[in-house]
Structure 1
Amino acid sequence: MSYPSITLKKGEGRTLKSGGLWVFDNEIAAVSPDVVNGEMVSVLDFDGYPMGVGFYNHHSKITVRMMSRHADTVIDEAFLRRRVEDAWYYRKKTVDTSSCRVIFGEADYLPGLVVDKFSDVLVVQSLALGIDRLKETIVRLLLETLAKDGIHIRGVYERSDAKVRLQEGMEREKGFLSAPFDTKVEIVENGVHYMVDVEDGQKTGFFLDQKYNRLAIQKLCKGAKVLDCFTHTGSFALNAGIAGAESVLGVDASQLAVDQATENAKLNGLENTVRFQCCDVFSLLPELEEKGEKFDVIILDPPAFTKSRSSVKNATKGYREINLRAMKLLKDGGFLATCSCSHFMTYELFTQTIGQAAKNVHKRLRQVEYRTQSPDHPILWAADESYYLKFYIFQVTNQY
C-alpha cells in the first residue's frame, strides 16, 4: 500500500534522523496534493529517501507523528495489535499491573495516545488527530489482549479534554467509550487504598507515574513528623501514614483535592494521623517557619510550573523558592523528597536549582537517591518529551 507523501527540506528532519518521532511544520518542503489531515503519509528526505510512515495534520506544529520507521509498513489492524501486545508485554515484565499506564504515547510507538488501567477500568486520552481516528480500534485490541490474560475490564472512559487538542484542530471530548459505569474506582497501590475519580479527577484521575517514588519515602517516614506539599489526593501523605508516621500534614490549593484526600485517609483508617489543609503552599511555608515549626520529612510534589520554554525562568524561581523554604523547615538531618514533572525543567536545571536553594540557606545536601517516573511511563531515548519526571531524596544537614 502506498501513502501520499511529504518531503523534508534539505538539512531538516534532525529530530527524526536522531531517533525521534516528530516532524515539525517548518521542516517540510512539499506535501502531496491528496494528503488529508489525520491520514497516513510517507515521509521522504529532501532527496526522496524514504524515512518511514506517520500521520499528518497541518493544524499542528508537530505536523507528522511517526508510526513506523519502515517505509513499506501498512498501518492496519494487525500492525496495531502488535503495538498493543508489545505494550502490555512490557508492563507485565516491569510493573505491578493492577493499576498502571498501559500505553504511553510515543514511548510505546502509538503517538498521542495514553491509556491508564485503574483496577478493572480503562481511561483513554487521545491528543492527536491521527491516533484519534484509530483509538476505538486500539481500545478494542487492548481489551482483547487483556482478556487473554484473564483480565476483565468493566468499563472504558475517555478523558480527551486536554487543551492541547485544540492545537490539533479537535474538540475536547469526555465520556464513556463503553456502557456507563460507576466512575469512582477503588485501587490499591503500595498497600494504600484510593478512590480514583476517572470522570472529574485531574488528567486521567490519578498520577500513576510516582508509584515507586511514593514507596521509596515509606522507610523514611516511620515515627516521623511529615509535611506533604501539593498533596493532590494525598498519595505521598498516605504512604507516609501507612508507613507509621507520627503525624502527617498534607497541603493543596484545591478544596476538591483536599476533600478527596480526606476521604482516602478514612479509607485507610488514617484519619487520626494524616490530616489535610487547603491553602497555598507558597504562603504556608513562610508561615510555618515564622511559627518555628520543624519537620522530619518534607515532600514537594508540585504541578508543572512550566509547560513551555518561554516560562522556564519564572518556573526556576518557583522551584528554588519552595525548596529553599522546605530546607529551612527541616530538622537537622531531616529528609527532603523533591521533584519536578515538567519536561522543560531539565535534569541539569532542576539539579542546579536545588543546589542554589541549599547554598542560599547554608545547608548541605546528602543525596539518598535520584529517581524518575515509574517504568510504565518508559523513557524512550531520542524522544526527549518522554523523560519528564525528576525525583530526588536528600538528607539535609546544617553542617556547612
Structure 2
Amino acid sequence: MSLALAVLKKGEGRTLKAGGAWIFDNEIGSVTGAFENGDVVMVHDFDGYPMGRGFINMHSKIRIRMLTRNPDQEINEEFFRQRLKDAWEYRKRTVDTGSCRIVFGEADFLPGLVVDKFSDVLVFQCLALGMDRHKEKLLLILKEILAEDGISIRGVYERSDAREREKEGMRKTKGFLGEPFDTFVHIEENGVKYIVDVKDGQKTGFFLDQKYNRLAIQKLCRGARVLDCFTHTGSFALNAGVAGAKSVLGVDASGLAVAQARENAELNGLSDRVEFLEADVFDLLPSLVEKGEKYDVVVLDPPAFTKSRSSIKNAVKGYREINLRGMKLVKDGGFLATCSCSHFMDFELFTKTIREAARNAHVRLRQVEFRTQAPDHPILWAADESYYLKFYVFQVCREK
C-alpha cells in the first residue's frame, strides 16, 4: 500500500533541512492520499524532492515527526530493532548503564519515545501518537536487546502522564506494562544509594540527566558546609554527604520529596550529617542571608521556571533572584553550582542572568567549569529541544 504524501510549502522546512526532526502544521502545503493519525507518510519538498518519512498527526502543531531521511526506508520491526540497538550500544560506550536513559526521543531518532532504565526496571514514556501505537512492539524488542547482554528486566512502568500527550490529542496515562511489581526501585549512582519511585516520582521517577554533574561537585564538598536548594529527593545533598561534607542542608517545597530524601539519607548512613527541610526556597534564601549564614558550597538546581517562550521574562527574574541570594550565602572563596533545565532559558540568556546577579551581589565569579546533561541525554544539533540543561560551577570571590 502506497503512503500518503505530505508536501512542504515553498521556503518552509528550514529546521528539517538543517537536521531537525519536526515539521509544523504551517509548513505543509498539502497532504494527499489516505491515512490515519499516527500513520507513516512520505515527505517531499515543494519541488518534489524526497525528504524522508515520518509520523503524521493532524491534532498536533508538530504535524510530522521525522523517522528517517531515507525515502526508501521501510518503517517496520527491523527498523525499530536497529534504532533501539543503536541507542543501547551508544549508552554502553558513554555512560554507566546500571541506571540510564536508554532512549531520548528525537536525539535517538525515535521521536516522542523516552525509556529510562533503573536497575532492572524500565520506565516507558510515549509522547507522540505514532510512537504510542508501537509501544508494545518496542518494549518487546528492547527487552530482547537487553537480554542479549544478560540483562533481565523484572518490570516495566508507563509514565505517559506528561501534558505533551494532550497536545497530540491523547489522554495522559500511567500504569504497569505487564505484571505488577514493587515500584520503589533501589539504584546506586556515583556511590550513592537511592530509592526511586517510578510510579509517583517526578517525570519518570529520578533525574538521570544530572548524574555526572552530581559527581562533579563531590570534590568540592569534602569537609564543607553545604546548602542544596530544590533538593528534590536529595541527590546533590547526598553526593556532598558521601564525599565527606561536614554538614549538608537540603531544601525542597515538596513534603513528599523531603520525606523520600530523608529515607535516602538513612539508606546511605548519612542522617547525622545530611538534613532536609521542607520550605519554599524563595522565602528561605532571604532569611538565611539576613541571618548572616555562610556556606562553603551552595547548589541551585531549580525546576524549569519556564516551559514556553511567553513566560521567559518571569523566569529570568526567578533565576536572577535565586542566584543573587545564593551568591550572598557563599563565603569568600566558596563555590556556587547553579543550573537551568529549561530549553527556553538558553545558554546565552542563562549566562547573562547569572552575570547580572553577580553584579547585584557585588561578587566576582571565577568559572570552574561548565557542564550540560549526561551523555545518555545526547544533544542533537539542529534539534534545539534536545539541549536543555546548563550547569555552571563558580568560585565566588569578594575580597580579591
TM-score normalised by length of structure 2: 0.99
The DSSP-based 3-state class of the residue aligned with 1:266 is helix
State the match for 1:305 in structure 2.
305
CA deviations 1:132-154 (Å, max 9, x no partner) are 01111111111000000000100
In 2: Cα distance, 1:210 partner to 1:19 partner: 26
CA deviations 1:194-219 (Å, max 9, x no partner) are 00000010010000000000000000
State whether structure 2 residue 101 is matched by structure 1 residue 101. Answer: yes
The DSSP-based 3-state class of the residue aligned with 1:338 is strand
In 2: Cα distance, 1:337 partner to 1:7 partner: 47
CA deviations 1:24-60 (Å, max 9, x no partner) are 0000110114121000000111111110000000111
State the match for 2:132 in structure 1.
132
Q: Which consecutive segments of 4 or more residues in structure 1 shift more than 6 A?
A: none
Residues 37, 57 of structure 1: 8 Å contact kept: yes
State the match for 2:18 in structure 1.
18
In 2: Cα distance, 1:368 partner to 1:59 partner: 46
State the match for 2:233 in structure 1.
233
CA deviations 1:166-202 (Å, max 9, x no partner) are 1100011101111111111000000000000000100
Residues 225, 297 of structure 2: 8 Å contact kept: yes
In 1: Cα distance, 2:378 partner to 2:312 partner: 24
Residues 84, 142 of structure 1: 8 Å contact kept: yes
State the match for 1:259 in structure 2.
259
State the match for 1:92 in structure 2.
92
Residues 125, 159 of structure 1: 8 Å contact kept: yes
State the match for 1:221 in structure 2.
221
State the match for 1:344 in structure 2.
344
Residues 7, 43 of structure 2: 8 Å contact kept: yes
State the match for 2:386 in structure 1.
386
Letter in 1 for 2:172: R
Letter in 1 for 2:380: L
In 2: Cα distance, 1:156 partner to 1:82 partner: 21
In 1: Cα distance, 2:328 partner to 2:372 partner: 25
The DSSP-based 3-state class of the residue aligned with 1:180 is coil
In 1: Cα distance, 2:290 partner to 2:358 partner: 19
Percent identity between the aligned chains? 73
In 2: Cα distance, 1:3 partner to 1:371 partner: 43
In 2: Cα distance, 1:136 partner to 1:23 partner: 26
State the match for 1:364 in structure 2.
364
State the match for 2:180 in structure 1.
180
Letter in 1 for 2:32: S
In 1: Cα distance, 2:85 partner to 2:23 partner: 26
Matched residue pairs, number? 400
The DSSP-based 3-state class of the residue aligned with 2:71 is coil
State the match for 2:53 in structure 1.
53
CA deviations 1:294-353 (Å, max 9, x no partner) are 100000000000000011111001000000000011100110000000000000100110
Letter in 2 for 1:26: N
The DSSP-based 3-state class of the residue aligned with 2:319 is helix
In 1: Cα distance, 2:227 partner to 2:247 partner: 9
In 2: Cα distance, 1:240 partner to 1:178 partner: 38
State whether structure 2 residue 150 is matched by structure 1 residue 146. Answer: no
Residues 5, 35 of structure 1: 8 Å contact kept: no
Letter in 2 for 1:140: L
Shift, 1:155, TM fit? 0.5
In 2: Cα distance, 1:32 partner to 1:198 partner: 42
In 1: Cα distance, 2:5 partner to 2:258 partner: 51
State the match for 1:119 in structure 2.
119
State whether structure 2 residue 334 is matched by structure 1 residue 334. Answer: yes
Question: Structure 2: where are the runs of 5+ without partners?
Answer: none
Shift, 1:73, TM fit? 1.0
State the match for 2:190 in structure 1.
190
The DSSP-based 3-state class of the residue aligned with 1:333 is strand
In 1: Cα distance, 2:104 partner to 2:92 partner: 15
State the match for 2:168 in structure 1.
168
The DSSP-based 3-state class of the residue aligned with 1:335 is strand
Residues 3, 33 of structure 2: 8 Å contact kept: no
State the match for 2:250 in structure 1.
250
